[in-house]
Amino acid sequence: MARIYLDNNATTAMRPEVAEAMAGLSAGCYGNPSTLYCVGRDAHTQMERARDIIAGILGSSRDEIVFTSGGTESDNLSVFGVTRALRKKGNHVITTRIEHHAVLNPCKMLEKDGWNVTYLPVDSYGIVDTKAVEEAITDKTVLISVMHANNEVGTIQPIAEIGKIAKERKITFHTDAVQTFAKVPTKVDELGVDLLSASSHKIYGPKGVGFLYVRKGTKIMPIMYGGHQERSLRPGTENVPGIVGMGKAAELMAAEAEAEEARLLKMRERLWEGIKTNIPHVRLHGHPEKRLAGTLNIAFEFAEGESLILGLDEYEICVASGSACTSDSLEPSHVLSAMGIPPEGAHGTLRISLGRENAEADVDMLLEVLPKVVGNLRSFSPLYKEYLRKQAAG
């Protein structure tokens, strides 16, 4: 039986064209891109080509792109870099309760250093109220950080509306676009962002590489010190093969984004219809429309998330519970909690995230296997037995 990978929000398989582009970095391209002689210049040229591709997708200029080691570093650089640069201006940051830990944990560190952080609530779909953003602003606010799309439930935030507010109030605005870059429109002027984080391994590129878009004029300081690479904002010799791979991945993803979104949406809806029809006591988390095309976060009452994952794994079907980063913890997901879902509802949750390698046959297979796995687990559940007993008693 072929493996079915349905965890594309955690990471994606590198596409062959990307591996080819990386391998095709000619033997002469091993140079340090900061050097002046031919070997270094060649590496530099390849790296700048990737920068141009990314800038093109964002509608930015190439010198606004800072290469990093991935989404986590870009988020850390945004939070620590801006607050460090603006600490004389204020000591307040606004973010949301559903951010990735790459934003939340830096914010917690800031609090230990005496900063005030407002963690905005979200509604039951996981959407932040733009009015609440506006109301949270004080004359000490120096940064607003709101993610573009959530990695667990896929809900897409009203970034452009928040961008307008941030601009009016002259506050630096960061968005974590790790789940959206090159997949949904991310033109930085349309979103109204000053900073945007992205990561290569979510778009079928290599792992350990990403970038931070930094709008010209944004006050930000480095969080590491060393050489003058990346306009001195991110010292260290750049990961040229990784950057070239990310450039290729972004180019390919952006070119097919619209068609791929429509294809994923169709598969996702068929999958959800099938699950709803064939399995009782299921509930969908996240916004019905404002949601990433490939993401389904579903609660299965009377079943437990980890057991569901292991049950599906026996059929070589890979799905996640909550987010990949928290799957080794039994704490209920902070995102589902913020959406008002009680711990018992969050525990039986699966995140199914479709990607470009999935086909309709994968949906068919999951629809065949999932009712068996859920049914089997429920047959051992004392809570389910109790429920059935009460139903029978009327």
Q: Which residues bind ligand PLP (CB under 6 A)?
A: 70-72, 75, 100, 102, 147, 151, 176, 178-179, 199, 201, 210, 325
Contact 310, 283 (CB under 8 A): no
User: Catalytic annotation on 29?
Assistant: no
Distance between CA atoms of residues 208 and 198, nearest Å = 11
Residue 91 or 145: which CB sits closer to ligand PLP?
A: 145
Q: In the bound complex, what is the minimum distance in angstroms from residue 74's beta carbon to ligand PLP? A: 8
- Residues near 289 by beta carbon (within 8 Å), at least 6 away in sequence: none
Kindly report the length of the chain. 394
Q: In the bound complex, what is the minimum distance in angstroms from residue 11's beta carbon to ligand PLP? A: 7
Distance between CA atoms of residues 246 and 11, nearest Å = 14
Residue 199 or 218: which CB sits closer to ligand PLP?
A: 199
CA distances from 302 to 194, 273, 378, 380, 387 (A): 45, 20, 6, 9, 9
Residue 70 or 311: which CB sits closer to ligand PLP?
A: 70
Helix (H, G, I), strand (E, B) or coil at 143: strand
DSSP output for 290-357: SB-TTEEEEEETTS-HHHHHHHHHTTTEE-BSS-GGGTT--SPPHHHHHTT--HHHHHTEEEEE--TT
Q: In the bound complex, what is the minimum distance in angstroms from residue 25's beta carbon to ligand PLP? A: 21
Q: In the bound complex, what is the minimum distance in angstroms from residue 31's beta carbon to ligand PLP? A: 26
Distance between CA atoms of residues 337 and 153, nearest Å = 12
Helix (H, G, I), strand (E, B) or coil at 85: helix
Residue 72 or 78: which CB sits closer to ligand PLP?
A: 72
Catalytic residue among 29, 107, 318, 325: 325
The whole-angstrom distance between residue 150's C-alpha and the CA centroid of its chain comes to 6
Closest CA to 354 of 17, 9, 15: 9
Residue 151 or 349: which CB sits closer to ligand PLP?
A: 151
Q: In the bound complex, what is the minimum distance in angstroms from residue 69's beta carbon to ligand PLP? A: 7
Q: In the bound complex, what is the minimum distance in angstroms from residue 319's beta carbon to ligand PLP? A: 15
Q: In the bound complex, what is the minimum distance in angstroms from residue 160's beta carbon to ligand PLP? A: 18
Distance between CA atoms of residues 351 and 11, nearest Å = 13
CA distances from 49 to 41, 44, 53, 223 (A): 12, 9, 6, 26
Residue 70 or 247: which CB sits closer to ligand PLP?
A: 70
Helix (H, G, I), strand (E, B) or coil at 96: strand
Strand order in the sheet with 92-96: 65-68, 210-214, 195-199, 172-176, 141-145, 92-96, 116-120
Residue 202 or 263: which CB sits closer to ligand PLP?
A: 202
Residue nearest to ligand PLP (CB): 71
Q: Which residues are catalytic?
A: 325
